[in-house]
Structure 1
Amino acid sequence: MTIIYLIRHGETDWNAMERIQGQTDIPLNETGKRQAAASASHLKTADWDVMITSPLARTKETAEIINAELNLPLYEMENFVERGFGQAEGMTLADRAAIFPDRIYPGQEEWADLTRRVLDGLAEIRQNFPDRNVLLVSHGGVINALLSELSNGEIGSGKTKLTNASISHIHFQEEQWLIRDFNRTDHLLSVEPQ
């Protein structure tokens, strides 16, 4: 059985300001670094085979902080880069509501394209790491797209707000991906915001 723990990257300054990041490459802030360290402490109690990360700075930094404790082979996969939000990137929720009340952002990556690439990434993980325990550090939009697709829309995008450095757990069993749990944050209780 292939097991994947989906880890949302730690907090950035844009997260703290509720600015939509998309593919804008924003680094972790100090809270995000502490969240990544708390995730590492939590994850080192289990056996993992490999770590995969999106190539954006906030995910790579989260992965590197975690991997300093775990010492796993680390791979980057473009499939798991955050959704592009076009002209809305950098805007706060209030800005987006005022300028784009229909939530259609010019230049935004289409939902079908996002789900296709993340599902292709899952298939690639399953092919390259069958029956392995995988850590995947990615983004809220990507993880929510996966959760939505795997739950037939019951959870995920539009329904679930994922906390920075939260952990979701999926596994491949009997020829299908199943969600074991999502948005786990108990490992972050000791992390104080900046």
Structure 2
Amino acid sequence: MTTICLVRHGETNWNAQGKIQGKTDIPLNAEGIKQAKRCGQYLTNAKWDVIITSPLKRARKTADIINETLRVPLVEMSEFEEKHFGDAEGMTYEERAQTFPERYYPNQENDTLFVKRLAKGLETIQRHYPNKRILVVSHGGVINALLRALSNGEIGSGKTRLLNTCMSHLTFDQGKWVIQNYNQVNHLEKVISGSPCR
């Protein structure tokens, strides 16, 4: 059985400020580095075969820090880059709500093409790493879109607030991907009030 652990990247300054990042290549901040280190320590409790990461700085650095303890092959896959949010990138939640009340962001990546890109990434993983245990270090928009697609809209985009370095587990069973859990933050030392942990 193929197992994927989706890991959201650590915190950036734009995360802390509530700004949407998309393809804007923002690095981890000091808290994000600490989160990634805790994540790596936690993940040593299980065997992993490979890390696949988005090439964007915040994901790649998170993957590199995790791999300091795991020491497994690390591969970049552009399929797992964050969605491009067009003219909304760099705006806070409040600025987006005021400027784009309909939540349509000019010049953003098409939703259908975005989901197809992610599906292609999952297909590539299953083809190249069958029956392996894979970490995929990616982004909130990516993970939420996958959760939404695999749950038929019950969770994910528009419903689930994913935390930095949260983990969500998928397995490939009987020809399809199945969500085992999502938004797991047991590895984080500090308690985050009001956040979902399932």
Cα distance in structure 2, aligned partners of 1:130 and 1:143: 21
- The answer on 1:46 being equivalent to 2:46 is yes
Q: What SS class does the counterpart of residue 94 from structure 2 fall into? A: helix
Identity of aligned residues (%): 53
Q: What SS class does the counterpart of residue 154 from structure 2 fall into? A: coil
Alignment of 1:24-103 (within 5 A): 24-103=24-103
Cα distance in structure 2, aligned partners of 1:117 and 1:125: 13
In structure 2, the partner of 1:13 is 13
- Per-residue deviation, 1:43: 0.2
Q: What SS class does the counterpart of residue 104 from structure 1 fall into? A: coil
Cα distance in structure 1, aligned partners of 2:37 and 2:47: 17
- Per-residue deviation, 1:152: 0.5
- Per-residue deviation, 1:110: 1.1
Q: What SS class does the counterpart of residue 141 from structure 1 fall into? A: helix
Cα distance in structure 2, aligned partners of 1:57 and 1:123: 24
Query: What TM-score comes out, normalization by structure 1 length?
Result: 0.97
- Per-residue deviation, 1:36: 0.2
How many equivalent pairs are there? Answer: 192
Q: What SS class does the counterpart of residue 105 from structure 1 fall into? A: coil
Cα distance in structure 2, aligned partners of 1:191 and 1:21: 25
Query: What TM-score comes out, normalization by structure 2 length?
Result: 0.95
Contact 1:38 1:191 in 2 (8 A): no
Cα distance in structure 1, aligned partners of 2:52 and 2:126: 12
In structure 1, the partner of 2:181 is 181
- Runs of 4 or more consecutive aligned structure 1 residues displaced over 3 Å after TM superposition: none
Structure 2 unpaired stretches of 5+: 193-198
- Per-residue deviation, 1:191: 8.2
Q: AA paired with 2:114?
A: L
- The answer on 1:113 being equivalent to 2:113 is yes
- Per-residue deviation, 1:186: 1.2
- Per-residue deviation, 1:165: 0.4
Q: What SS class does the counterpart of residue 64 from structure 2 fall into? A: helix
- Per-residue deviation, 1:189: 2.3
Cα distance in structure 2, aligned partners of 1:156 and 1:54: 19
- Per-residue deviation, 1:81: 0.2
Cα distance in structure 2, aligned partners of 1:13 and 1:143: 20
Structure 1 unpaired stretches of 5+: none
Contact 1:81 1:138 in 2 (8 A): yes
Over residues 142-191 of structure 1, what are the superposed CA-to-partner deviations in whole Å (9 max), with x where a residue is unaligned? 00000000000001000101000000000101111000000001111248
Q: AA paired with 1:124?
A: T
Over residues 54-80 of structure 1, what are the superposed CA-to-partner deviations in whole Å (9 max), with x where a residue is unaligned? 000000000000000000100000000
Over residues 80-124 of structure 1, what are the superposed CA-to-partner deviations in whole Å (9 max), with x where a residue is unaligned? 000000000000011101111001000011110110000110000
Contact 1:31 1:191 in 2 (8 A): no
Contact 1:51 1:72 in 2 (8 A): yes
When the two chains are superposed, the root-mean-square deviation of aligned CA atoms in Å is: 1.0
